[in-house]
Structure 1
Amino acid sequence: MRTALVIGTGLIGTSAALALQSRGVQVHLADHDPAQARTAAALGAGTDEQPAGPVDLAVVAVPPAHTAHTLADAMRRDVARGYLDVASVKAGPRRELEALGLDLSRYIGTHPMAGRERSGPLAGTAELFEGRPWVLTPTRDTDTEVLNLALELVALCRAVPVVMDAEAHDRAVALVSHTPQLISSMVAARLEEADETAVRLCGQGIRDVTRIAASNPAMWLDILSANPGPVADVLAAVAADLEGTVRALRALQSAEEDERDGGAAGIEDVLRRGNAGRERVPGKHGAAPAAYETVTVHIGDQPGELARIFADAGRAGVNIEDVRIEHATGQQAGLIQLTVEPQAAPGLTATLRERGWSIRQ
Structure 2
Amino acid sequence: MHQKLVPVDEKRPRKRCLESIRHWIRSGALWPDSPLPSQRQLADILGVNRRTLRAALAELSEEGVLLRLDARSFVVNRRAPAPDPFLSESVVLVTMADVTTSLRVCEEETGLLHSIARSVAATARERGLHTFALTPADFSRRQIERMFAAQPRGVILLDDEALAEAEFLAERSRHYGVPVVVMGDGKGVFDTVYPDHNRGGYRLARHLLDAGCRRFAWVAPAGVERKRWGQDRVAGIRRALVEAGLDLSREIVVDAPLQRPAIYAEWERYARMYAGFVYDVIAGEDAVDAILAANDVDFFFIAWACRLFGKVPNRDVLIAGYDNVWPVAFERHWLNDLPAASWDKHNMAIGRELVELLLRRAPGERVESPVSVAVDGELVIPPSGR
TM-score category by the smaller chain? under 0.3
If asked which structure has higher relative contact order (CA below 8 Å, sep 6+), I would say 2
Q: Give the number of the structure whose alpha-carbon radius of gyration is greater.
A: 2
The structure with more helix, counted as a fraction of residues: 1
